[in-house]
Chain A
């Protein structure tokens, strides 16, 4: 297709290239070992480089496909938010950047919400896509996280979040910053209802995302070698002008410093998540949840039931379910393609 790209004008080019999920290069180089891997092999290995075990970044859709039974899940659409409220431009218009990101990822914004089953348990999950403007947290992503948490609350299911983000979306200014408290409210409501909130921290999780919903989980799981921090290494280096310690701000470092519960290989992730959710859901909280009481947090008890009951939920239509063929991960990764055109809100 390269010659087409050279001839066709940029605007038209995007139509030609949207449908490809395979990158230009069929071979991918492992950043750690330098080894070349065939893309299909990488995809079928959940983007873990065979041999070196390096965890490559993974798109939101692949995440959800890998999580749910048979790769089947329903996309939950997110209420539309104002696009470009600040009329921002930094060299280019923000609206153009958004359009490009949508084309590139076939997502509406950086967070994708899905609902399905994990070893038979009902689960709501959110996956953040680093390819969508660095997974940055803007109004749409914030609203998506809130929608996902609210959905889990309504359905009485655990919520699993796959975090991947460069932080706040500068182009939305203060409205991006306000997503930190906004998402925290939704986390609190899930917590008060006694439902598990599990965060999977993937490479990279930084800035305002780490400093809000990604650090408020009941259980924090990180993938090996992921960069997880508030201020990035570049910023810190500029401030202190010294060499940073080895492995600084990587998953294993955070584990040593008590910020996360475990570092789990991607191939063991599903099994771990399933077990944690099952054990948490089988405690005494089960009866409480059934009675509409909720919350072990003493000070919240009186408000909890009431607040949960009157929680206003914005209308959301459940988009077309994606049905996996049940033949396992590899096959379902392909069937997730039509999902690209699901009915999630046009915004």
Chain B
């Protein structure tokens, strides 16, 4: 498969993680991609653009270290470097948190582009966590992005919203998009009760970046505030592969169909009754 994430040397890439629908895993994806890139010695800045509903800080386990936020930077209350929180677990990983007490109108697309211009000189990758919805928060988040990662789940509502988001990204000349399909459940796909990754790709028709199985370890890692990328769990492995593809490496997709035995197929037939 053609990889849309090859990167030129000594330049910064701004990637926005978006979905339209809430709760499909934008923040988890952002945290894991950011951490995964940092583990490979890249300089990474994650920006939470969900003003009023900040979450990336808790998912990363950095909620106790926030002093300044994105709105403070935009309004000139502090310098960009003062607002950046360094993740002590990974050298080169930084978080620019969002404000909790303001709303989406606090940052305009133009101000966002200006902040990004400054940060681009300091980092290899900037990952933007986009808010749900298609209103001003979305417009602000995509304003300075070079490419987009659209996150969806194999559900009718999430796919419909992803389709709308893809249309809006195209309308905003952000045509370099790729798809992450989250929360896939192999047992349900086998039974014919969940759309497979291929079904979703056929419908949305953008290049696939990764498939992430529905995994208990995602909840556990969020509880602990420690992204799971790189651990042995299926979801951790899936995020490791996604990071590799972002770096331009060809990695085969997780074989979710692995090990379907004759008896599984037989029992699958009886599930239908």
Q: Are A and B a genuine interacting pair, yes or no?
A: no
Residues of chain A at the chain B interface (Cβ within 8 Å) = none
